[in-house]
Every structure is written in C-alpha cells, then in structure tokens.
Structure 1
Amino acid sequence: MKKQLVITGLLLLFALLPAAAQRTDSMRYYRRADGRRLNIETVNRDSVGIDTLRRIDAMDSGLVTLREGGNDGSVVLEVAGFGLTLGHTPMQKMELKSPRVELNILSDMEFGFTQLTGVDYSDYAPGEKDFLDQRLGPSFHFSFSAVQLCLSLNRSRTLSLGLGFQYTLDNFRLADNGITLGNRDGRIVPVALDEPADKSKVVTSSLGLPVRLIYRPAKHFRITAVAYSDFLLGADAIYKKPKEKNSLSGFRSYQFGLGASVAYRGFGFYGRYGLTPLFKNNAGPACHTFSFGFSYTLSL
C-alpha cells in the first residue's frame, strides 16, 4: 500500500512540473511599512531567463511616481526617491541633431537700397558740387553668398560661424540726368552730356569674403552679425539713350564694412555700412556707402 502511495505521489509530481514551467504570470504581495498591501504583477523567467515587470497598482503614498521628464518627450519613473528616465538615450539625441559643419549654396541674399552718406565736396570747385546726389528709389543693392561654410560653436547648435564667397552689385542712380561721371587728372568729376539722358548711374560689382556670426535663439529665428571684406571687380559710369558705358577709376579696390540682419523662416531685414571710404584719397569726394532692405536665407 505504501509503495503504491509513493508511486502515485511521484506521478503527480512529474505531472505538475511541466505546468509550473509553463506559468508566466504571478501576483506577488508585499507589505509596506504602514501595513498596507502593494500589488505587483510580474512575469516570471521566460524561455531566455529574463524577468520583466508588467504592472504596478496606483498608490496614494507617493512611493511610486510617474511624471513627464521635459520637452523632449521623456518620462521619469521615481521609486522611493530614485528616478529612472525613460526616453531617448544621449546617443540617440546626438543622432537627431544637425551636423556640426554645413555647406550652403546660394544663401544669404540681400535686396535693398543703397546710398552714399557723409559726402564731402570740400576739395571741389563750387560748380562741381552735388554731382553725387542720388535718386534713392532706383539706387538698388543686390548681394548673395555663392558658397558658405557654417561651423557650429556650441552643442545646442544655436551659435555658429559662417565663412564663404559673396557677390555684390550696387547701382547708384544720379539725380541729374544731364551729367555722367568721368576721371580727369586722377579725380572723379561730373561730365556734362549734350542732352539729358533717360537715366545716368554708376554701377560697382565686388566679390567678398564675409564672416557671419549667427545666433538662433528659437526655431526658425535667426540674428546675424556680419563683417564684410569686399574686393572690387569693376566700376562703370552708364547713361542711356543711346546707352553708353565707360569704365571709371578712382574707387578703392578693398572695402570693409559691418552689417546685421534679423530673419524668421528665412525672411527678414538687413543693414550694412561701409567703414572704408568708397573712393581713394583725393580721387573723389569723401563718402561711405549704406545699404538697407530685405534679406532671405536658404540655410534655415
């Protein structure tokens, strides 16, 4: 009889072992310091031997807290004063950021007006003065960066330094259509026309190496400070009906200036001032260029 009971017990034991191995869920009960019960539903070791946590019942003791971690979408799980951040890892966040060095093509365009400021005719005869008076509306400025390399200066990519090549065209429309400009004895002077022209102007073109300090305090918003270094490509005196174009000397081959711009979603306003006089010493009236208007950038 005893032998039969032992055999029956062994058979029951072998029958229960597979069932116990197949169980995955279990409910464990723990007592807290105040005597209340905490229910934690767990998943026992699976086929690869890994324990996982399935559910923790909501409690009003503050022992377990689940809260938002910030604007990056992370979640913080606090247990007994210890926090666990659930979200992107630091490596994943780095992968989402823009590259440290960027190459921009045809960016930082300027469309505006240009005028001469502080014109001094003290070395000219009274009859030759005021020949650089302008019509501001038709006097335009156009500029763009053909190639620009931007280097981020901080980890958040809010501050960067830009260096590239920029082409600039300035059109100075003279107020007096009855004159054009010429060079006599190394000095720029007014030259009277036989009859008034439809328009009379001076056009300069230059290639520069601007250095930009770019600050992005918010998304799509950009503030830029610029140091311009422009090298003169050519200067011409032009009048129309019929059209005549004559090369004009006396301009400085190098111009240095400062500027700034503010833009949102690429569109904004700019201003730039030439610290270097436009003409060489004793080659023309002492004056500086000032330009202002609209800007557009493709790098945002």
Structure 2
Amino acid sequence: MKRLLFLSLILLIVVAMQAQDTTDVKVLTKKLVEVTEDAEHSEVSLLNDRINIRDNYHGDTTNIRVGRRNIEIVEGDHKTYVNIRREDRWGDDSEWRDHKRKRFNGHWSGLELGVNGLAKADYGLYGAGADEFMELDQPKSLEVNLNFIEYNISLKDERVGLVTGMGFSMNNYRFDNQLTIDKAEDGLVRPFPVAEDNFEKSKLVVSYLTVPLMLEFQVPVNGKSNQLFISGGMVGGINLGSHTKIKADNSKTKDRGSFNINPFKYAAVARVGLKDISLYATYSLAPLFKDDKGPELFPFSIGISLINF
C-alpha cells in the first residue's frame, strides 16, 4: 500500500533519455529537471536553471547555485567544508519566498547535508564466507538534498498540516576498502579490486528525484516568536542515474551504469527543528539493489537542513 501511494505521486513524471547522456524529467509538458553527464562532469539543472548543481569528476567540489546563493561543498581528506556566498548577478531571490503561505507553513524546501549508511546487510546470494564488500567509510558517505518545490495543506488551527513537494537527492556511498563494484557476467553486482597505485578513495553515487508526504505539527515557543516543529511520513523517489568514481595516483576515473539500482525507493522520514533549523532522518523500506541482483541493503541517512528557502 505504501509503495502504491508513492508510485501514484510520481505517475505524472516523464523521464526522457536524450543524446549526449542527458536525462529530462517533466511533469506533463513542463521540464523540471535536466541531468547531463559527460567524461568531465555531471550537471543538474532544476526549474529552467533557477537551481544548478555541478559535480566535476576531476575535483572534490560540488557547486550549487540557488537564486543569489552559491554553495560550495568541498570533500577534503579529513573534513567536508561548506562555503556559502551571495551573488548579485543572479537577481532578486525574493521569488523563492513567495510560495510560503501566510497560514500553515511546513518545512521541506531547502538545502540539506547528511550522512548515508546501509542497514540489515544480507549477502546470502554470494555464498558462505562472502566479504561484505559494501562496507562504508560512513563519515565520508555524504548525502546532498536540494528540495526545490514545497506545497502545504493546513488541517487545523494553522499549526497542523500536510507537506509535499519535490526534491533532488544525491547519495554518495564511500567504500571502506580498495575496491569498486560492477555487474558481473552472472548479472550480480560484485566487487572488483582497484589495483591502482596511490589509491585514495572509491565510491558509488546514486541520484533521485524525490516526492514527500509528511504530517507536521508546530508548537509556538518563546512567546510565539519561534516555533518547534515535528513531522513524519514517507518520501518516494525515482532513480535518475548512478556512477562509480575512483581517485588514485593523482587521477580520477568514472563509470556510469545502472549497477542494478532499484528504479524506485520509498523511505520513512522524521524531522524535528526550531524555526528554520532542523534535523532529519530517513530509513528506506526498499533495498538499494534490485531483488536477487545484489546484496540486500537498506539505506538510511541522518542530516541537517542548512538553508530554508
């Protein structure tokens, strides 16, 4: 039932593959997302380039532009840095605040940064003694969510309502061992050792277009000058693409493929916050890989909302 609910929410979404590794996502005739990949970079354009995400394969920096804000996420050797600055050349960003209702105003749209994990690992397909090759360097397995559309439905006293919308999620799974993954001749996802000298890192990157449905409760605090909110529900998603990336010997290689990733995901989500600052947690009820095509692993994430639109 839960799966049918979220599949119905994205029935109007059309995904079209074009030349030069470009994917368009449309609702009816309106283009919402354009994903372009080549040998040098991945680029995601949202809402006719109102939002732009660019990941350069030869660097460790993801650049995000939202209206007049430029956000830089830099993966260092030991830390991840987030730099935010404003750009006047992109004009007034007041339009991003126009959708906020004077009545019930939920919490979904914004930029989020979290940490990914994989739970309930089952490697039964690989026989006794199989290595758990999807073990992660969890602090460096980052999730970046850009929730760019929000709709609210007030239910009671302007403090209880339903929240939905749309977002883009990019999940990085950083391997803890010197290996990568690929589909073998038997159709299973299997580990492949990385024999490169001066190995630095290897990861799997999976992207989704997401649609939430959450029930939110708001409680005024500090003499009604602020509000505490708690929300919970489900997030459905459609897989937009995946690739592996290896950094070794001062060079980077990237392999784009399906890797038997589940085309749809649906996850439980919970949020708690004060005013515009919030913490979130998700737990997927669908495995990362297709049934009998890879190890059974259930993704989860924990993170913080950095910017509220």
Q: Is the 8 A contact 1:207 1:231 kept in 2?
A: yes
Name stretches of at least 5 consecutive residues in structure 1 with no aligned partner: 1-97
> Could you tell me how far apart the structure 1 residues matched to 2:109 and 2:291 are?
34
Structure 1 residue 237 corresponds to structure 2 residue 247: no
> Could you tell me how far apart the structure 1 residues matched to 2:306 and 2:252 are?
33
1:114: which partner in 2? 116
> Could you tell me how far apart the structure 1 residues matched to 2:146 and 2:195 are?
38
- Write out aligned runs for 1:31-42 (5 A): none
2:141: which partner in 1? 139
Q: Which moved more, 1:142-151 or 1:190-199?
A: 190-199
- Write out aligned runs for 1:150-189 (5 A): 150-154=152-156, 156-177=157-178, 179-184=179-184, 185-189=186-190
Structure 1 pair 266–100 and aligned structure 2 pair: CA distance change class (3 A): closer
> Could you tell me how far apart the structure 1 residues matched to 2:292 and 2:189 are?
9
Letter of the structure 2 residue corresponding to residue 256 of structure 1? Y
Which of these residues, 207, 211, 214, is aligned with residue 213 of structure 2? 211
1:270: which partner in 2? 280
* Percentage of matched positions with identical amino acids: 26
Name stretches of at least 5 consecutive residues in structure 2 with no aligned partner: 1-100, 221-225
1:283: which partner in 2? 293
SS in 2 for 1:123: helix
1:220: which partner in 2? 227
For residue 223 of structure 1, report the CA deviation from its aligned partner.
Answer: 0.9
Q: Which moved more, 1:179-188 or 1:290-299?
A: 290-299
| Structure with higher strand content | 2
Letter of the structure 2 residue corresponding to residue 191 of structure 1? F
Letter of the structure 2 residue corresponding to residue 247 of structure 1? R
Q: Deviations over 1:250-284 (max 9, x none)?
A: 01000000111111121121111000111101110
> Could you tell me how far apart the structure 1 residues matched to 2:173 and 2:234 are?
22
> Could you tell me how far apart the structure 2 residues matched to 1:170 and 1:244 are?
18
Q: Deviations over 1:114-158 (max 9, x none)?
A: 01111111111456522111111111111121111112112x200
Letter of the structure 1 residue corresponding to residue 238 of structure 2? F
Q: Is the 8 A contact 2:119 2:300 kept in 1?
A: yes
Which of structures 1 and 2 has the bigger CA Rg?
1
Question: Could you state the TM-score of these two structures normalised by the residue count of structure 1?
Answer: 0.62
Structure 1 residue 99 corresponds to structure 2 residue 99: no
2:255: which partner in 1? 246
> Could you tell me how far apart the structure 2 residues matched to 1:298 and 1:148 are?
11
Q: Is the 8 A contact 2:218 2:228 kept in 1?
A: yes
> Could you tell me how far apart the structure 2 residues matched to 1:103 and 1:285 are?
37
Question: Could you state the TM-score of these two structures normalised by the residue count of structure 2?
Answer: 0.60
What is the CA RMSD across the aligned residues, in angstroms? 2.1
> Could you tell me how far apart the structure 2 residues matched to 1:144 and 1:263 are?
18
